[in-house]
Structure 1
Amino acid sequence: MVAVAILAVVLQPTASPAAIADHAAPVAARQLAVPVVVGHRGAPGHRPEHTLASYRLAIDLGADYIEPDLVSTKDGVLIARHDDELTSTTDVADHPEFADRKTTKTIYGVERTGWFAEDFTLAEIKTLRARESASAFRQESASYDDRFKIATFDEVLRLVKKRSRELGRVIGVAPETKFPSYFDSIGLSLEEPLVRSLRAFHLDLATSPVVIQSFEVGNLRQLNRRIDVPLVQLVAPVGAPYDLMVKGSATTYATMTTPAGLATVAKYADWLAPDKDMVLPRDPDTGATGVPSALVGDAHRAGLYVVIYVIRNENAFMATNFRVGSERFGMGDVHAEITAFLDAGVDAFFADFPESGVQARDDWVAAHRS
C-alpha cells in the first residue's frame, strides 16, 4: 500500500527528512520514491477550507498529510484559518453582537478592514460558522457553508490521531504559522502554543509525521532550537521574508533560492516550499510550462526536499498547456500537471483536490517501478 511505502521511506536514513534534522552537515537529498500528497487546507475543493470536515475528507480521499494554517485567538488558542481576517471564511459579518469588532489594521504594511481572530476569544470564535471563500466557482464546497465550527489546532491533531488509528495508516500534519512576526508584536506568539500542542500529542520528534511551515525565517530558526520536527521554508516568486525585510536585510526569496541561499536555508530547515511556477516557469507569451528551472536540483544538492504549492484542478490556476477547454473555472488536466512536476523531481505537493493528487502520484510511482 502507498501508506506503507511512505512509512518505509520515512524510516530510511537516506531518504528521510529526519535524516538531516541536525542541520550540521546536510547531505544531498534524492527525490522521495513515493512523493507525498498534502491536503491543502484539507479538501477545499469539496468542503469549506480548514474545517474538521475538510480535513477528514482529505484523509479519507487518501492524503498523506493535511495542512492547517494557524492563527491565534485573543486568549492564545491556535485555530485553523488561512487568514486572521475572518470575513471571507466565516459568517462573522452576520453576527450583530460582533458588529463593533469590525476594525481596520495595518498588517505587514497592508491596510485591511474586517473582523480579526485575535480580537475574539475561543468561546466567541466557536459561535461562528465556516464558509467557502471561493464560492463563485466551488459550489460543492459552498453548499456546506454555515455548517461547521472553526477548528482548534488541538482538535485537528485529535482528528488525525483518531483517523490514523481507524485507517491503520500514518497521517501527517503540516501546520503553517501565519503572520508570526505580527502575532509576536501583539503578545500572541504562535510558536509556544504550537510546540506545546505537538508535545502534548507526542508529535515533537524528528521522526514524527509533522512538518512546520513559515514564509518567515526567524520563527523557523527559533523552532529549530525548540523542537526536532522537520521544518519547511516557504518561498515566493517575489518579495522577501517580512521579518528580515523590516530589519533592513538584503535577503529576498530570490537570493534564498540561489545555491548559496539554499545552503543557508538548509542550516535550519529540511524542506523548501516554492510556488510551483518557480519549478516549471511559464512562458511569458504563451503561458505554457517549458524546461524545469534548476531549483529542485539545487535544493536537493543542498540537502533540502521540495514541496510545491498549490495544485488546483481548475483551469484558472494552471499553465495553458494543462488547461482543458475555454471555461476559466472548468477542470483542467491535473493528472498531466502533477506528472510534469513529479518528473521535474519534486518530493511533495499541496493539492486542493487530494483524490486527484493521490491518483496521479500513484500512477507516477507505478510507472517508475515498472
Structure 2
Amino acid sequence: MRTVRIVFHATALATATLVLAACGTTGSGGPGKLLTLDGKPPLVIAHRGASGYLPEQTLEAYARAIELGADVIEMDLVSTKDGVLIARHDPNLAISTDVARHPRFAARKKTIKVDGETQTGWFSNDFTLAEIKTLGGISTDAERPQEFNGKFKVVTFQEIIDFAKAKSKETGRTIAIYPETKNPTYFRDLGMPMEDKVIAAINAAGWNSKTAPIYVQSFEPGSLKYMKSKGLNTKIIQLIDGDGIDLKTGAMTYAVPVDRPYEWTKAGDKRNFDVMVTPAGLAEIKTYADGIGPWKRYIVSIKGTIGPDGKPVDVDKNGKVNDADATSMAPTTLIADAHKAGLFVHPFTFRDESRRLASDYKKDGRNEYRLYYQLGVDGVFTDFTDTALAARAEYLKSIGR
C-alpha cells in the first residue's frame, strides 16, 4: 500500500477534493459521473443489520435496516453443535447473547483459543440450535441502546434467506444478503466445516450466480477458494483486516487475531493482511474473488497530535485517546489500485459515534461517508443505514445525479 504521509486539517470532504485535484481528477470523475467500478451509486450494506439501534444479527435488526432503506443486509455465520449455520459474529456466545444469564448452561463455560486468541465464554459449537434459540441477542456496544437486550432471538442462515426473499417481495425492491464464513479454520478443525452448507443453502435459494442478490465474504482466502472450487459462482469478497493505527505515524498495526488469516498462521506464513492491498496482492485476490472488503483505514488513515512525551494527545480532554483526537490523512491509492485489478471495494465499518470519527468530520458521520463516496468506493458496511443513505443522497445530488 502506498500511503501519502500528509495530515489535512480541513473538513473531510475538502480533504478528498484537495487530494483528487492534486491527482488531476475530481471525486465524481466529471458532472454526474461516479468513480465506482461499475459507475453505479455505492451500496449501503447494513452491517449485522441496524446494529447501531438494535441487537445485531437478529431478524428485528435486519427488518429495521430494510425499513431504513438498506440495499444489502450483512451477517456472519458460525455453526451450532448440530451443524446448523446461525448468524453470530463470534463463536463465543458470551459476546453477543445473554447466555451468561441462563443458569442451566453455567457448566459449559470454558476457556479456549479461537484463531490464536484466548477466550473465556460459551461457544456455539457446544450448543444445539434448540438451545441457542432459548438465548437472546444483546448489544455489543455499551454506548448503544440496552433496553432490547435478551428480547430478540438468534436466527439461522436459512431464516435470513427466507426473510430477505419475503422482504424483497413485500417492498418491491431487491434486498441482497452478504454472509461471511466466520472463523472457518476453527470450525474445520472441530470437524464442522461450513462451506459446503453455505453452498447448499445458496443453491437451494436459486442464488448461485453473479447476478443473484448475494455476496459471499471471508477473511480466509482458503474458505473462499474452496467454495469457488466447489461451484460457488456468486460475487465473492476477500476481507482485509488490521488491529489498529499507530497515531504517531498513521501506519497500520497488527496483532492476534486480526494480523493475518488464521489459516496462514497455522501454515507458518508470517505475512500480515497488508500484503493483500499491494498490486500483487490484489492480482492474486482477483484470481478467486470479485471484490475486497478492507478496513476503512487502508483507504484513509488517521494521525494524532503527539505531545512532548512522545505520546498521542487527548485533544478533546475527555480522558481517552481515540479517533476523535486524530485527523484524517491523505487517501491511499487502494481504491484505484483495486479498480484497476477489476475488484470492487466495500470498506468496513462506518459508525456514528463521535469517538469513532476523526476530528475533521466535525462529529458528523455524513462527512466521513461523503469522503469515501467521493473517492469511489463501491459500497460501505455501516451500523447506521440511515446516516449512510442520507450522505449518499447528498453526495449524488451534489454531482447532479
TM band (smaller chain): 0.7 to 0.9
SS of the residue corresponding to residue 264 of structure 1 reads helix
Question: Which residue of the partner structure matches residue 248 of structure 1?
Answer: 268
Aligned residue number for residue 228 of structure 1:
233
Q: Counterparts of 1:193-204 in structure 2 under 5 Å?
A: 193-204=197-208
Q: Which residue of 1 aligns with 2:52?
A: 45
- Cα deviations by residue, 1:187-211 (Å, 9 ceiling, x for unpaired): 1111111111111111111211111
| Alpha-carbon distance between aligned partners in 1 of 2:396 and 2:178, rounded to the nearest angstrom | 23
Find out whether 1:351 has 2:355 as its counterpart: no
Q: Structure 1 residue 364 and structure 2 residue 395: aligned?
A: yes
Name the counterpart of 2:372: 341
Q: Which moved more, 1:72-81 or 1:105-114?
A: 105-114
The C-alpha deviation readout for 1:129-164, integer Å capped at 9, x for no partner, is 111121x2112xx21111111101111111100000
Map 1:144-159 onto structure 2 (within 5 A): 144-159=148-163
Does structure 1 residue 183 correspond to structure 2 residue 187? yes
In structure 2, the partner of 1:138 is 144
3-state SS of paired residue (2:370):
helix
Q: 1:278 aligns with which of 298, 311, 317?
A: 298
Give the secondary-structure state (helix, strand or coil) at the position aligned to 2:165. helix
2:218 paired residue number? 214
In the TM superposition, what is the alpha-carbon distance from 1:29 to its structure 2 partner?
7.4
Q: 1:137 and 1:267, CA in 2 relative to 1: closer, same or farther beyond 3 A?
A: same
- What are the residue-to-residue correspondences of 1:69-108 with 2, within 5 Å? 69-108=76-115
- How far off is 1:88 after superposition? 2.8
Measure how far apart 1:245 and its partner are.
2.4
1:315·1:322 contact (CA, 8 Å) conserved in 2? no
Consecutive unaligned residues in structure 2, runs of 5 or more: 1-34, 243-253, 306-324
C-alpha contact (below 8 Å) 1:313/1:353 kept by paired residues: yes
> What is the aligned partner in structure 1 of residue 175 from structure 2?
171
Q: Report the RMSD for the aligned CA atoms in angstroms.
A: 1.5
1:57 maps to amino acid: R
Q: Find the aligned partners of 1:32 and 1:68 in 2 and give their Cα distance.
A: 26
Does structure 2 retain, via aligned residues, the 8 Å contact 1:282–1:290?
yes
Contact 1:42 1:50 in 2 (8 A): yes
Q: CA deviation at 1:177?
A: 1.1
Answer yes or no: is the 8 Å Cα contact 2:195–2:223 preserved in 1: yes
Relative contact order higher in (CA < 8 Å, ≥ 6 apart): 2
Tell me how far apart the structure 1 counterparts of residues 286 and 275 of structure 2 sit (CA, whole Å): 14
| Amino acid corresponding to residue 181 of structure 1 in structure 2 | T
CA contact (8 A) 2:237 2:290 kept: yes
Q: Choose which of 285, 293, 302 in structure 1 pairs with 2:341.
A: 302
- 2:98, 2:272 → 1: CA distance? 37
Aligned partner of residue 311 in structure 1, secondary structure: coil
For the pair 1:267 / 2:292, whether they are aligned, the reply is: no
Task: Please tell me whether Structure 1 or Structure 2 has the larger radius of gyration of its CA atoms.
Answer: 2
> Does the C-alpha gap of structure 1 residues 293 and 40 become closer, same or farther in structure 2, counting only changes over 3 Å?
same
How many positions carry a matched residue from both structures? 332
Report if the CA contact (8 A) 1:217-1:244 is conserved. no
1:15-34 paired onto structure 2 within 5 Å: 30=37, 32-34=39-41
**Aligned residue identity for 1:335:** R
Residue identity opposite 1:60 in structure 2: E
Of 120, 123, 129, which aligns to 1:116?
Answer: 123
TM-score normalized with structure 2 length: 0.80
Match for 2:133: what amino acid? K
Residue type of the alignment partner of 2:214: V
Alpha carbons 1:86, 1:114 under 8 Å: kept:
yes
Unaligned runs of at least 5 residues, structure 1: 1-27, 324-331
Q: Distance in 2 between matches of 1:260 and 1:271?
A: 15
